[in-house]
Amino acid sequence: MNRQASNPPQRCPTGLFWLFLASSVETDIAQHDCEMAASLVEGESLQNLFGAQFEIIKVSSLNQVSKTDNRIVCMGMVTHSGGEERIRITVENGSNATEVLFRVEPLF
């Protein structure tokens, strides 16, 4: 059964990576792929520990690391307003049936 998340976008810093919930996103993680994950984070703004904000301009060179019915993990390069770096994007079910959680983390 395909459901669409209807909650408003929320962003919350958690150390060196960012989590956010997206609205109007397919909640059946099995339907997600790395290209879909990339398209959902492009245009989002991330903030580092010092308060500097960076807009994600482009995600490229994506490779799927793992995928289950509840979670997909992809790695690639992100071009943002502050430069370019390797990242991991994780898409997984949130705390209820209408939430999809996206995590973007730099790889050091």
Q: Domain map of the chain by residue range?
A: 18-106
Which pTM was predicted? 0.76
Q: If you average pLDDT over residues 67-76, what whole number do you get? A: 94
Looking at the chain, the whole-number percentage of residues with pLDDT higher than 70 is: 77
C-alpha–C-alpha distance, residues 108 and 96, integer Å:
32
Q: If you average pLDDT over residues 19-30, what whole number do you get? A: 70
CA 23 to chain centre: 13
Q: If you average pLDDT over residues 15-21, what whole number do you get? A: 53
Q: Which residue has the tokens 């994007």?
A: 89
Q: What is the pLDDT of residue 21?
A: 59
Integer-rounded Cα radius of gyration of the chain: 13
